[in-house]
Structures are given as structure tokens and as C-alpha cells.
Amino acid sequence: MSARAGGGTLFPVGAFIVGALLTACSTGPDADPADDRLLIDGGTVVVMDEAGTVFDGGAVLVEGDRITSLLDGAAPRPADVPVLDATGHLVIPGLINTHGHAAMSHLRGLADDMPLMTWLNDHIFPAEAELVDPDFVYWGTVLSSIEMLKSGTTTFADMYYFRDDQARAAIDAGIRAVLGPHIIGFPAPDHPSPEASLRDAGDFLERYRDHPTLVPGVAAHSLYTTSLADVARASALAADHGVTFQIHAAEDASEFAIASDQTGMGVIEALESIGALRPGTVLAHAIYLSEEDIARIAAGGAGISHNPESNLKLGIRRAAPVVEALAAGIPVGIGTDGPASNNNLDLFDEMDTVAKLHKFTNGDPTALPAETVFRMATNGGARVLNLHDDIGSLEAGKRADIVLLDTRRAGLTPLYDVYSHLVYAARGSDVSTVLVNGRIVVRDGQVLTVDETEAMARARAFADRVRAVLERIAAEREREP
């Protein structure tokens, strides 16, 4: 890929970035977006507006952190604006990962091929209790942010511990992130109780209220780990601050019985009873839903994060009722879940699985066509996170979160239908350039913001700690009567 000035002179993208566009890259992660203009020109622009507009040979004009206009192939181009040549590329909105646990990249492959509750209670929770600290969270989140950015994800929603270290990692990487206070109903690595976690949560929410890429939110783990009263407190905090609220809901068949024993209600009914089914609430997984549950979610305005690859790998015996949810008007986005349960963060892989899973389970090849699935990964995800006024499509006034995908490859040639390619053929490795908030953070497949080599070295060092802890836990279990 190359860049050219308005007069047509070609010069390397690297020189262009250093000399013209991204002063933020050299002045630190908290620098204001650059004032420079940039014209991304010559690609196939997949707008993802309501009309499904696609411009062949179109252009996107970026000024600072915003998209200011779109141009079709025949429209005159502005003069004296640096041009990023997108010939041979699809120009798409940044993908939006609506659910995950980024720091768990340090636990990738730790415990596979077992049921959800066994995986959590016998392996993940014990390991986290001993291993998770601020450095673990920071470097794990950096590592996952690199993986996501390089595969075209520009926004991710996350729930994990040590929120300040999560935030610092996301900001350093230059990725947009929705994260913040997270409560769970037993002593966690960062706080001994839900009350302790919520005590200073308001400070975090206010500190990042107007941050350009860090979007504060609140999360409660689930009703099977956390009391309804504590979930209600977390949900109310999110409502008071007008931020996103995330919770695992109806992921496993056992959850209904647990919720019923504790509350006398099913999971979704219990969340409805505390006013949690409102716009901006993200129900992660939402698999075991009745018709009444779907009606409750639709009436309240909450959204669903669909995470099929993690669910398939954990042996969940049914697919989330995505077709029915969309028909009911419920916003549905796509998530990867954490890298310890997926085990990758490539949303292109996830889109392919979404489309094929629902064709199989519905016995209908027309279920969830490619354009619908790509919309779930972009505009739909933005709606789930209540960020659709800012991201999710390439429209004037929205944040410049833009991905260029190189189609000049054997696996993407020829090109008949952009949505078919994006869902069924493309992979994260086809991504060449990524902008977040108007800032180029990936160029020619390389992350520009953080040191990938250092992040991987840190991960290998953490792996030595993980192995030692697992060996000791296994030995203690063998000694148990």
C-alpha cells in the first residue's frame, strides 16, 4: 500500500505517517487526535449505513478523529489532501467485539475440552486466584489488543479485574475499549467483595467519561456467581452514570435452576425485575432463552452478544436464538469471548461460524445471510454497546475507525460480492491497515503503538508462572482424600 499527495506524487506510507498524519504516535497515547486530513481513496467502500451503500473506487475523507465525507468513484477529490491509496482493498468499518476477557490471553490453552462449569470452577477460577495481578492484566490485555487490531477489530467490550491496568493497556495499544468496574460474588484478585469493587467505581467512570477511546462501563459476572442484590447495585451504578452494563446471562443450561433457587425467577426475568434489561445492557451469550425471555429483552431494549465459537468449544448443546432475537428487534452483536475459551480473537473467523451455525441449526441456508452477519459485527455491535452514534459504519460525523482489507490474494480472488467475501472468505490475516479514532495503529499488518515482541516475551514469562501454579494445584488435588 502507498500514499500519495493530492497532486499525485507517491511516497511510502511510513514516511507519510511520521511526517504528516499521526503526531499522536510520537507524543503518547493520551495525545489529542491529529488535526491532519486524510483521504482513503480507490478502494471498495462498504459503508454499512441503513441502505447498505457500497462505493466501488470510493473514498473516505478523515479530518482529525472523524469521518467528514464519503465520495463515490466519479466525485471530484479535494485538493492538497494526503491520500492513502486503497486500490485493491475493501474499506470497512472497524469490527466490534462485544464480549471478551482480554487479559486471559495468558491462559490460552490452559484447560480445553471440558464443560463450562468444570472449566471455570476447577481450572480457571483457581488459577486466576493465584496468578492475576496488575502486570498480568496489563500485558495480557496488550497482547489481546495486538491480536484484535491486526485482525481488524477496533472496539472491544471486556469484563475483568484491575480495571485501571486494563484501561492503561487499551489506551497504550490505541484500541477502543468498553470496560470498567467488574463485580463477582466471591473474593476476586483485585477486590475482596462486590462492595469493595463498587466503592470507588464512580471515580473510574468519571475519570474516563470523555476519553477519546476508553469507554467506561460496569460489569457483573453472572447470577450464578453473584447475588441478585449485588447485580442490581452494579446495574444501578451503570444507569446512574449512563454507561454500558455487561453480564453473562443464560449461557449454560444450569443457570435457570441456580437463578430460580436464589431468586424464584429465571435469569432474564430476574434481570428484568431489577431494571437491567435497558438499552446499553449487554447480555453475553443469551443462549437458553424462552419466547417470554425474548419478549422481555425486546421490551426492555437490552442487546445480546453472540459468542458461538466459545459456546461450541465448551459443548453448549444449543445455539443462541439469534434469528428470533433479530426478528424481535433485539440488537445482536458478535463476540469472541476470552482467548482462554475460544481460543482466538479473530472476528472474521467468528462471522463465518455465526453464519454457518445458524444455517445448520435452522436447517435453512437462507438464515443469517452474509450481509446480516457483517452488520452484526459492525453496526449491530455498536447498537449493542449503545455506541451507534459514534461507530459501526462509515458515515460523516462518526469516529474514524476504519479497516483496509487486501483482496489481492489468492483466497479472495475473484470478488463478486463484498459481504460474501467478508463473512465466508476473509480472515484477520488479510487486514493491512487499521485506523482507530483517525489514528493509524496498524500499517502493512504491523502494530505501530506498542512493542509486540515485548508483549510476547512477557506472555512467555507469565506462562512459566502458570505452569508452576498448575503443577502445585494438581499435586494438592491428588493429596485430597
Contact 122, 115 (CB under 8 A): no
For residues 7 and 451, what is the distance between their CA atoms, to the nearest angstrom? Answer: 35
By percentage, how much of the chain surpasses pLDDT 90? 83
Q: Looking at residues 70-84, what average pLDDT do you find?
A: 95
Asked whether this chain's domains 3-92+393-445 and 95-384 adopt the same fold, the reply is no
Arithmetic mean of pLDDT, 262-272: 97
Q: Which of 97, 42, 50, 106 is nearest to 72 (CA)?
A: 42
Average pLDDT, stretch 287-306? 98
Region of 334 (left: φ > 0; alpha: ψ -120 to 50; beta: rest) is: beta
Q: 118-132, 153-167, 229-243, 367-381: which has the minimum mean pLDDT? A: 118-132
Percent of the chain past pLDDT 70, that is, above it, reads: 93
Cis peptide bond prior to 414, omega within 30° of 0? yes
Q: Which of 297, 280, 234 is nearest to 384 (CA)?
A: 280
Task: Provide the pLDDT confidence category of residue 115 given band limits of 50, 70 and 90.
Answer: confident
pLDDT in tens, 307-324: 999 999 999 989 999 999
Per-residue pLDDT of 50-74, as tens digits, reads 999 999 999 999 999 999 999 999 9
Q: Which CATH number fits domain 95-384: 3.20.20.140, 3.10.20.30, 3.40.50.1000, 3.50.50.60?
A: 3.20.20.140
Look over the chain and give the mean of its residue pLDDT values, rounded to a whole number.
Answer: 91
187 vs 478, residue with greater confidence: 187
Give backbone dihedrals phi and psi of 125, rounded to 5 degrees, phi first: -60, -45
pLDDT, one tens digit per residue, over 120-138 is: 888 788 888 888 999 999 9
Of the listed ranges 4-8, 34-38, 216-220, 434-438, the least confidently predicted one is 4-8
The pLDDT score that the predictor gives to residue 116 is 80
Q: What CATH number should be reported for the domain whose range is 3-92+393-445?
A: 2.30.40.10
Q: Is the pLDDT of residue 465 over 60?
A: yes
| pTM (2 d.p.) | 0.92
Q: Where are the domains of the chain?
A: 3-92+393-445, 95-384
> Length of the chain in residues, anyone?
481
Nearest Cα to 288, choosing from 337, 351, 224, 233? 224
Predicted local confidence at residue 13, as pLDDT: 36
> How high is the pLDDT of residue 30?
39
Yes or no: say if 259 and 270 are a contact pair by the CB < 8 Å rule.
yes
pLDDT in tens, 342-363: 999 999 999 999 999 999 999 9
Of 300-309, 356-365, 466-475, least confident by mean pLDDT is 466-475
Sign of CA pseudo-dihedral 13, 15, 21, 24: positive
pLDDT bucket at 46, cuts 50 / 70 / 90: very high
Per-residue pLDDT, 18: 30
Residue 476: band (very low, low, confident or very high) from pLDDT cuts 50, 70, 90 = confident
Predicted pLDDT of residue 471: 79
* Band (118; pLDDT cuts 50, 70, 90): confident
Q: How far apart are CA 194 and CA 222, in angstroms?
A: 12
Give yes or no for residue 7 having a pLDDT over 70: no
| Cα–Cα dist 285/248, whole Å | 7
| Whole-number Å distance between alpha carbons of 270 and 236 | 14
Q: CB under 8 Å to 432, separation ≥6 — which residues?
A: 1, 89, 404, 405, 406, 442, 443, 444, 445
Q: How confident is the model at residue 472 (pLDDT cuts 50, 70, 90)?
A: confident
Q: Are 94 and 434 spatial neighbours (Cβ–Cβ below 8 Å)? A: yes
Q: Cα–Cα distances in Å, from 399 out to 39, 98, 239?
A: 15, 18, 24
- Which class for 116: exposed (0-12), middle (13-18), buried (19 or more C-beta within 10 A)? buried
